[in-house]
């Protein structure tokens, strides 16, 4: 009963929450900086910190912007795919 | 009488309580350590303070220049909020109430603009604004926050406004009211719940934003709260009491604002999104 009725009716909430959370998760910079600063020898460097270091610390604006553009394409593909899949599963209230 | 249901609920409460303790333990440690002088912290970090002393707080306030920093952050947040709400509400009113073909295009473009991560735009932003000589200016920061917050704001207003009936506006327009006046006097007061929600979401984001101010604001007197906490913490990690006091000071304003308006978030986001 739980998964046949309650969860399908909660799907709109899942759609928007998952969309916003995924978007924010890919942009995390300050938590990464304050917890590990890139970790021992760049092992915990997340993607946002990688772009920042590449563009501003190494002063390689060109490759840095290219990486940022690839990040945009990745986030766009994931977000659009996720919204499309969940919109199909939405059930109208009877 | 301990029925099975009561036992189940007691077990769930017990685990929820354990989880609460686990989550709040770091905050608790920071709070009690901020009230102790340095010697007591080194002796035993987990003990309660013998005597409450606010010396750490006053010293952290002065060293961090907390008054100036708080004013900077409040100025940036308040101005970008006002601009976002004014222009976002007007834009979504036009998108909902008029049936132009361009409205669909504009709305689709806004939704797509929500997907763009900030990192894709920060490099051209910094280089262009650097050449224009607008670095160090809080006004450029407000301009950028307005651009970045507009898709989300318009999206939430749009969802909410679809549920408002047109009767009152039509009555006002028949009576000879202009569109501008009709919007500000009749429609906008009805938007109070979603305005509060948008206010909270945007305030939390702009207040706590670290990356953008760290790229734009370079001078000491222009810093915002997350920036100044970061630099302070980097310098003063040896004096733990002072660092803890600085952390508590930077958390307090947001907690106060959030506690004031917290009930509106959950109801508001769901109302705006599902419609």
Tokens of B219: 């001078």
The predicted pLDDT at position B132 comes to: 86
Distance CA B117, CA A76 (A): 9
User: Is the minimum CB–CB distance between A29 and chain B shorter than 8 Å?
Assistant: yes
* Stretch 100-119 of chain B: residues touching chain A, C-beta under 8 Å: 112, 114-119
Whether the per-residue pLDDT at B105 is higher than 90: the answer is yes
Nearest CB partner across the interface for B120, out of A56, A71, A80: A71
Enumerate the domain spans of chain B: 4-53, 56-274
Structural domain tally of chain A? 1
Domain membership flag for residue A45: yes
User: Is the minimum CB–CB distance between A34 and chain B shorter than 8 Å?
Assistant: yes
Nearest CB partner across the interface for B210, out of A16, A30, A56: A30
The predicted pLDDT at position B186 comes to: 87
Residue with tokens 């707080």: B57
Residue B211 near residue A24 (C-beta atoms within 8 A):
no
The predicted pLDDT at position B99 comes to: 85
What confidence tens digit (pLDDT) does each residue in B16-68 have?
999 999 999 988 888 888 888 878 878 887 888 888 888 888 888 888 888 89
The total number of residues written for chain B in this structure: 275
Residue with tokens 């003990």: B47
Contact residues on chain A for B124, CB-CB shorter than 8 A? 65
Domain membership flag for residue A4: no
The predicted pLDDT at position B221 comes to: 83
Give this prediction's pTM: 0.81
What confidence tens digit (pLDDT) does each residue in B218-253 have?
888 888 888 888 888 777 777 788 888 888 888 888
Does B124 sit within 8 Å of A80, measured CB to CB?
A: no
Interface predicted TM-score (ipTM) of this complex, two decimals: 0.80
What confidence tens digit (pLDDT) does each residue in A15-55 have?
888 988 888 888 888 888 888 888 888 888 899 999 999 88
Q: Which domain holds residue A62?
A: 26-88
Domain membership flag for residue A16: no
**pLDDT band of B151, cuts 50, 70, 90:** very high
Does B117 sit within 8 Å of A71, measured CB to CB?
A: yes
Looking at the structure, give the CATH architecture of the domain made up of residues B56-274. Orthogonal Bundle (1.10)
Q: How many CB atoms lie within 10 A of CB B123?
A: 23
User: Is the minimum CB–CB distance between B7 and chain A shorter than 8 Å?
Assistant: no
User: Is the minimum CB–CB distance between B120 and chain A shorter than 8 Å?
Assistant: yes
């Amino acid at each position: 009963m739980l998964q046949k009725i309650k969860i399908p009716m909660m799907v709109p909430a899942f759609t928007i929450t998952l969309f916003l959370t995924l978007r924010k998760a890919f942009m995390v910079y300050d938590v990464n900086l304050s917890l590990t600063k890139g970790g021992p020898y760049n092992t915990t460097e997340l993607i946002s910190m990688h772009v920042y270091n590449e563009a501003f610390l190494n002063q390689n604006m060109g490759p840095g912007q290219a990486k940022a553009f690839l990040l945009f394409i990745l986030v766009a593909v994931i977000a659009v795919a996720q919204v499309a899949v969940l919109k199909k599963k939405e059930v109208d209230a009877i | 009488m301990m029925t099975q249901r009561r036992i189940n609920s007691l077990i769930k409460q017990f685990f929820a309580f354990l989880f609460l303790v686990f989550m709040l333990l770091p905050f608790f440690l920071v709070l009690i350590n901020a009230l102790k002088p340095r010697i007591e912290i080194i002796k035993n970090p987990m003990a309660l303070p013998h005597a409450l002393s606010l010396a750490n707080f006053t010293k952290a306030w002065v060293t961090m220049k907390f008054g100036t920093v708080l004013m900077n952050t409040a100025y940036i947040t308040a101005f970008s909020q006002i601009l976002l709400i004014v222009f976002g509400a007007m834009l979504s009113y036009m998108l909902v109430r008029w049936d132009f073909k361009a409205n669909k295009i504009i709305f689709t473009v806004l939704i797509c603009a929500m997907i763009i991560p900030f990192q894709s735009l920060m490099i051209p932003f910094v280089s262009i604004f650097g050449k224009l000589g607008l670095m160090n200016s809080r006004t450029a920061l407000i301009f950028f926050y307005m651009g970045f917050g507009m898709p989300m704001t318009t999206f939430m207003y749009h969802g909410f406004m679809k549920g408002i009936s047109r009767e009152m506006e039509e009555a006002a327009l028949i009576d000879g009211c202009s569109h501008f006046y009709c919007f500000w006097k009749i429609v906008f007061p009805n938007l109070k719940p979603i305005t509060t929600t948008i206010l909270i979401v945007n305030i939390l984001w702009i207040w706590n934003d670290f990356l953008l101010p760290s790229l734009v604001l370079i001078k000491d007197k222009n810093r915002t709260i997350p920036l100044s906490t970061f630099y302070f913490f980097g310098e003063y990690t040896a004096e733990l009491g002072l660092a803890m006091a600085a952390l508590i000071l930077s958390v307090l304003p947001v907690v106060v604002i959030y506690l004031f308006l917290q009930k509106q978030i959950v109801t508001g986001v769901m109302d705006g999104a599902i419609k």
